[in-house]
Amino acid sequence: MSLVGHQPPPIFKRGLAPIARLSVFVAVCLVLLVADLRFRYLEVMRNALSVVTYPLQMAAATPADFVRNASRYFATLVEVQLENADLRRQRLTSGERLLRFELLEQENAQLRELLGMSRRVGVESIAADILYNAPDPFARKVILDRGAQQGVEAGLAVVDAKGVVGQVTRVHPVQSEVTLLTDRNQSIPVSVVRNGVRGVLFGTGRGRLEMRFVLADADIREGDQLVTSGLDGIFVPGLPVAQVTGVDRVSDAFARIDCEPLAAIETSVQVLVIGRTAYPPPPAPDPKER
């Protein structure tokens, strides 16, 4: 190796010149970047390298854990009592709704059976805590304290008490990475509760969401509730996602639809990871046709 700007005498073999080494390394980096950002080829390499980095990461997370637990420990008694009372009230109301829900679910199953429709796919959920924001400043991602060992898989939906927060995009052994809905590269298929109009919701990166590629004359109004449509085969249908806050039809062939997420995307702490227990089966053949 030679120093930059100092030509070594030719009698000493010192390897490639620095500028050549730089070019080689930069070329390799650019190839890696394109392979990762454009084609997502490098997950295997990432997993292999994470074997090296994982112990170090665990060690580094310890002080953060300590600070988190300490701040929780010193929460005052009054705060805890207030929170407890609030939670009791919430549990009462949600318990009442749950009773009706179970009744309706049974009724729904019976009706579907009467109509000869396939049964709704079961849903499984895993409770998780959000540990911290992912350190990458260019994306809106958070790290959960549940990973592959607890059954989290890439692609599952993550919800809080009010609605969808994001999607699991990368799974480590005991942690997983969730891309929030507000990330610029995150999208989610939705439908309007009022009339079933379908569309795709994109993050804008500024804490807002935008529904794109909806024709200007589509029947969408301010205040409409958007839920997941489940057409992607990944998200469970019917999870509340967002509320329409503004519709602008003058600009283009497509309407500009601004939405506000229902979930406390940037502030929620406890979340559920929700997945289908199986992919929806193909529609059952009609017995009368045979």
Partner 1 sequence: MQPTNRSSRILLPVKLWFVYLSLLVALGLEYIPTGRVPGIPDWVALVLAIWCVREPQRIGMGAGFVLGLLVDVGQGAAMGQHALAYVVLAYLANGAARRVLWFPLALQAIHFLPLFLFIQVLMLVVRLLAGAEFPGWSYFLSSLSSTVLWAPLSMLLLLPQYQPVDRDDNRPI
| Minimum distance of partner 1 from residue 3's CB (angstroms) | 6
Binding flag, residue 1, partner 1 (CB under 8 A): yes
- With CB under 8 A as the contact rule, the residue among 128, 143, 220, 236 that binds partner 1 is 143
Binding flag, residue 132, partner 1 (CB under 8 A): yes
Q: What is the DSSP string of the chain?
A: ---TT-PPPTTS---S-HHHHHHHHHHHHHHHHHHHHTT--THHHHHHHHHHHHHHHHHHHHHHHHHHHHHHHTS-HHHHHHHHHHHHHHHHHHHHHHHHHHHHHHHHHHHHHHHTPPPPPPEEEEEEEEEEE-S-TTS-EEEES--GGGT--TT-EEE-SSSEEEEEEEE-SS-EEEEETTSTT-EEEEEETTT--EEEEEE-SSS-EEEES-BTTS---TT-EEEE--TTSSSPTT-EEEEEEEEE-SSSSB-EEEEEESS-TTT--EEEEEEESSPPPPPPPPGGG-
Binding flag, residue 205, partner 1 (CB under 8 A): yes
| Minimum distance of partner 1 from residue 125's CB (angstroms) | 24
Closest to partner 1 by CB, 1 vs 250, is 1
Closest to partner 1 by CB, 197 vs 271, is 271
| Minimum distance of partner 1 from residue 55's CB (angstroms) | 10
Binding flag, residue 72, partner 1 (CB under 8 A): no
Closest to partner 1 by CB, 55 vs 285, is 55
Tell me the number of residues near partner 1 by CB under 8 A.
53
- With CB under 8 A as the contact rule, the residue among 8, 50, 111, 213 that binds partner 1 is 50
- With CB under 8 A as the contact rule, the residue among 10, 63, 95, 282 that binds partner 1 is 63
Contact residues: partner 1, CB under 8 A: 1, 3-6, 18, 21-22, 25-26, 28-33, 35-38, 42, 45-46, 49-50, 52-53, 56-57, 59-61, 63-64, 131-141, 143, 170, 177, 183-185, 205-206
